[in-house]
Amino acid sequence: MRKSLVILVLFVVALMAVAMLGVDEAGATVTYQLSYLHTSSTNPTYCVISNQSGAATTASFKVASTSVSNLTALSADMLASTGASSKTWAAAQVRTLSFELQSIKMDGATVATVSGTNSNEAYTGNLIINGAGTTCYNVPIACLQGTTTPKRNLVGFICQDGVNTVTY
């Protein structure tokens, strides 16, 4: 009886330790699913991303689907050939990321071309941010779209970090 009680207590303590340590918790990768991107000159998208995670992060971007082209899988990382400084956010740094025509720009400088799309084509993509301690809550993003003043607030995109799913 005592042996069973001791085993039960140890089991409960082990479960509590696993729960507190968070074996499957967020903290390495944040994925923003950005819809409503467009290669038309009248629909550029401008995003502001703040790294509040306390550690440096790196970004990648993959086209997920298009309105005309027939993709069979996520594209290759559009930022793979970009220099490290162009796709890295230092802790407490804010960067701008824009999607204009078929270009991806970081802080106003073109860093990649969106392959697999045509002119005047809608597409969606995954912006993936990697870094220690990253979550949907400490790497927030806000996006605006269009050429009008003021720009349209872009809503309906999703953030996933392994634990949290947040719709903006």
Average pLDDT score over residue span 97-116: 89
pTM (2 decimals)?
0.78
pLDDT tens sequence across 87-102: 888 999 999 999 999 9
Residue ranges per structural domain of the chain: 25-167
Residue 152 gets which letter from DSSP?
Answer: E
C-alpha 160/C-alpha 104 separation (Å) is: 22
Q: What is the mean pLDDT of the chain?
A: 81
pLDDT tens sequence across 11-21: 433 434 333 33
C-alpha 21/C-alpha 15 separation (Å) is: 10
